[in-house]
Structure 1
Amino acid sequence: MHVKVLGPDCARCKRLEELTREAAQEAGIPVEIEHLTDPTRFIDYSVITTPGLVVEEQVKMSGRLPRREEIVAWLKEAAGGQ
């Protein structure tokens, strides 16, 4: 499963990447995480405030740090409810 973290190389963006790895491990879903730091790419996903999280090309959130449980649910949903 392909996941993108959108945001500069800041503490909140790094934390979102860590939370996503933890959530994927908890859910038992292998993920490939790509961290996009180019602001022109954020616009491709209509993300104005960072960090942003994109799962299988669907924007799941932006502008806040989600709870790990939220990320688990998004990953499971994208995986077809595993």
Structure 2
Amino acid sequence: FVEKDGRLADPVIKGLLKYWPVTNCQKEVLFLGELEEVLESTQPPEFVRCMVSLFRQIGRCLNSPHFQGLGKCYFI
């Protein structure tokens, strides 16, 4: 959706952050993969709208004890 209409990046990213898995590392890795794909298509004005909450969640992932989520987080 974001590739066709860049204005959808903000609601899509906020939706991903809203339903972010807390206890399941495998789901967290999947969410990070989806987030990476969305960010590739996101334009700077759309990114600015959600960057505070996005970086807050990435910071939580960097503090995670799970190496898979941590490794995927570094790629973003």
Judging by fraction of residues, say which structure has more strand: 1
- The reply to whether TM is greater than 0.5 is no
Judging by fraction of residues, say which structure has more helix: 2
